[in-house]
Amino acid sequence: MPEFDTAHVKNIVLLGHSGSGKTTLAESMLMEAGAIHRRGSIEEKNTVGDYTDLEKERGNTIFTKLMHANWKGFKVNIIDTPGYDDFSGEVISALRVADTGVMVLNTSAGVEVGCDVIWEYTEKFRTPMIFVANQLDHPKAEFERTVQEAKAHFGNNITVVQYPLNAGLGFNAIIDVLNMVMYEYGEPGSKPKKSPIPDSERERADALHKELIEAIASNDEGLMEKYFDKGELTEDEMREGLHVSMIRHDIFPLFCASALQDRGVARLLSYIDNVCPSANEMPPQQTTDGKDLPCEAKGPACIFIYKTVSEPHIGELSYFKVFSGVVKSGMELVNETTNTSEKLSQLFVVEGNKRTSVNELVAGDIGATLKLRNTHTNNTLHEKGRNLELQPIVFPEAVMSIAISNNKKGEEEKLASALHQLKEEDPTVQVEVSPELGQTLLHCMGDMHLAVIKWKLQHQYHLDIHFTKPKVAYRETIRKAAEATYRHKKQSGGAGQFGEVTMRIEPWVENMAEPAGLNVRGKDIHNLPWGGKLVYYNCIVGGVIDQRFLPSIMKGIMEKMHNGPLTGSYVRDVRVSVYDGKMHAVDSNDMAFKTAGMMAFKDAFQQADPQLLEPIYSVEVLCNDEQTGNIMGDLQARRGMVEGFDTEGHFTVIKAKVPYADMYGFSSSLRSLTQGRARFRMRFHDYAPVPFELQKKLTETYRKEEELAEA
């Protein structure tokens, strides 16, 4: 039998801006529960959570970490998360399997931008939430300001359960308005003393106690009636009311702590085991076909992979949550995505980088297993004879792109393998090999994310890599009609080559009239893979070109459209009418007409007022009101056109259209302008004409490169 049943497993995720004290809080929780005997510190680089070399070097959490504490008959799984938006994929995957979120606020700084970003995800998942006002021992700690900011940012559902006495360097007591006692603390790590609330604090404590009761009662008709009848609720009734309200996402209780001094941590753990929901009390999981999967030990075995990590000398470690049934070591499950069978050869509970083998894990618990051959993050594994696939995690789209290459020749395969592994571990990393641009592109979430990727490639995979600005996927088209004739004639002994083609090219637009003055014999419409159309007309009369050579002419045109005359970019939205030409009874062949068609198209294109098009992106910047001026100035300096403003939660949203060529470096610029308190998203909108001077510059640069290549 598993050590803990489903009702006695609690899964919490620590959330908050970088520097709020999440990792230190996790250390204090583990120490309070006896999982460790000495609390590690960021400065000493010895915490259970931040164990990787990169995290020790940078001094902050970058990857989600799983830990657990056995507390008063409960197993509390603790997931520590990063605090920067660049690593939001890590936060989302943790929220997918947690049953309670613990938002840690730094009372010396108030509500920071990382909290706003994370809050959006907790709202999406409807995660039951606790707030912890941390670092109350800091000389600049301001509890009241932090509470007011939290309510302004996250709503009045935040309800004070505790408030501090002597916040600042003298912080040594917490008044709890749920059970109406005061906790007094001595030396760090010592057990608190329960005392009556001082008379000087009685009025404030009573007022907050009443607010708490009213908040609880307002979300439950039965409790409201009891409150009206008695004017009070018992402690048990309050706990039950908080429990139900948290599951409904109606109340967010706020606690006090100094994780560094281990003050308030034990009370927080007790609240988690007493009030916070277990997985079986949360709404059932939804499968992709819309069915419910209750979290029950008696149900069919079903696990969801939420994270994959590559461990040195071991291989891939897959982290999972048991959403139904009981999984056992040696059990074979079916991957619903790949339809392959996977054997769970070993099961582990995890404490940072320490793994402990177990025989079973019950519904609601979180663990890990090794060496699943065909299973990846977001996959569902279930017992045979079932068809279960849980809703996948939707990861945010990348906002930054960079070209990556090797400095050493011959390591291309090694780089490709490393990038594949990075993508396996972090689904927010996207890799694109672009034949159009001749570059391998890395898409990520920002500068800090890129710095982590670079560190991994250099230190874990020992690659000498080079990052460069990605090229821009321009398009070429025309603005007027033009005609050209090209004769390809080649004689080099024996059979020669001869083909002559005359064509008219025109800008293609939807529903345009048929070619004027030409006898249309055939028409092909090609939806181009890179966007736009090529419409190809056969207007040959009198047999001047044999029908069998028309496909070769088309091939020549397509070849030049792959490598446009202006900058070598793809050509789009052109109509071509081939209406005259000549052939030779002996020397004409497919190659001759392919070349003639390509060169006639090139000559006509250059006479048809060619136009270079550039990709335009819709950009939305989420920021505070006071930051809009600087951000708008930066966008306009990038040739952006600000189209308006909107609101999203507590953010002002600046909406703009910006050329992709000028978005390079925007992530760094935005972070600098706003001290990291703004973020953005972008998506492709359309192609638009490049300004004349820029087109001239790009065309001349391409011509010089072509001349150098031919020299």
Residue 315 pLDDT greater than 70, yes or no? yes
Cα 309 to its chain centre, rounded Å, is 17
Q: Supply the pLDDT for residue 711.
A: 63
Please give the Cα distance from 264 to 185 (Å, whole number).
9
Q: Is residue 538 classed exposed, middle or buried when 0-12, 13-18 and 19+ CB atoms within 10 A define those classes?
A: buried
Q: Look up residue 611 and give its amino acid.
A: Q
Task: Tell me the DSSP string of 677-706.
Answer: --EEEEEEEEEEEPPHHHHHHHHHHHHHHH
CB atoms within 10 A of CB 301: 23
Please give the Cα distance from 530 to 436 (Å, whole number).
9
Residue 111 φ then ψ, to 5°: -80, 120
Q: Is CATH 3.30.230.10 correct for 476-608?
A: yes
Average pLDDT over every residue of 103-128: 90
pLDDT tens profile 245-272: 999 999 999 999 999 999 999 999 999 9
pLDDT tens profile 655-665: 999 999 999 99
Q: Look up residue 241 and give its amino acid.
A: G
Q: How far is CA 187 from CA 28, 171, 377, 493, in A?
A: 14, 11, 44, 100
Please give the Cα distance from 41 to 28 (Å, whole number).
10
- Domain 285-382: top CATH class: mainly beta
Window from 337-341, 488-492, 620-624, 702-706 with minimum mean pLDDT: 488-492
pLDDT band at 116 (very low <50, low <70, confident <90, very high): confident
Q: How far is CA 572 from CA 474, 507, 557, 595, in A?
A: 11, 9, 12, 20
Q: Supply the pLDDT for residue 493.
A: 63
Q: Supply the pLDDT for residue 636.
A: 96
Q: State which CATH number among 3.40.630.40, 3.40.50.880, 1.10.238.10, 3.30.70.240 fits the domain covering 613-693.
A: 3.30.70.240
| Record: fold of 6-196+250-280 | Rossmann fold (3.40.50)
Helix or strand (DSSP H, E) at 452: helix 447-459
Structural domain spans, the chain: 6-196+250-280, 285-382, 400-468, 476-608, 613-693
pLDDT tens profile 324-338: 999 999 999 999 999
Q: How far is CA 216 from CA 30, 444, 494, in A?
A: 30, 43, 97
Please give the Cα distance from 250 to 89 (Å, whole number).
26
Q: Supply the pLDDT for residue 78.
A: 97
pLDDT tens profile 413-453: 999 999 999 999 999 999 999 999 999 999 999 999 999 99
Q: Supply the pLDDT for residue 624.
A: 85
Residue 285 pLDDT greater than 80, yes or no? yes
Please give the Cα distance from 463 to 417 (Å, whole number).
11
Residue 107 pLDDT greater than 60, yes or no? yes
pLDDT tens profile 13-37: 999 998 999 999 999 999 999 999 8
Residue 210 pLDDT greater than 60, yes or no? yes
Q: State which CATH number among 3.30.70.870, 3.40.1310.30, 1.10.10.10, 1.10.1280.10 fits the domain covering 400-468.
A: 3.30.70.870
Find the angle CA(24)-CA(106)-CA(203) to the nearest 5 degrees: 110
Q: Supply the pLDDT for residue 120.
A: 86
Please give the Cα distance from 233 to 229 (Å, whole number).
10
pLDDT tens profile 607-652: 999 999 999 999 999 988 889 999 999 999 999 999 999 988 778 9
For strands 400-406 and 465-468, give the pairing. Answer: antiparallel
For strands 610-623 and 570-571, give the pairing. Answer: unpaired
Do 400-468 and 613-693 come out as alike in CATH topology?
yes
Residue 1 pLDDT greater than 60, yes or no? no
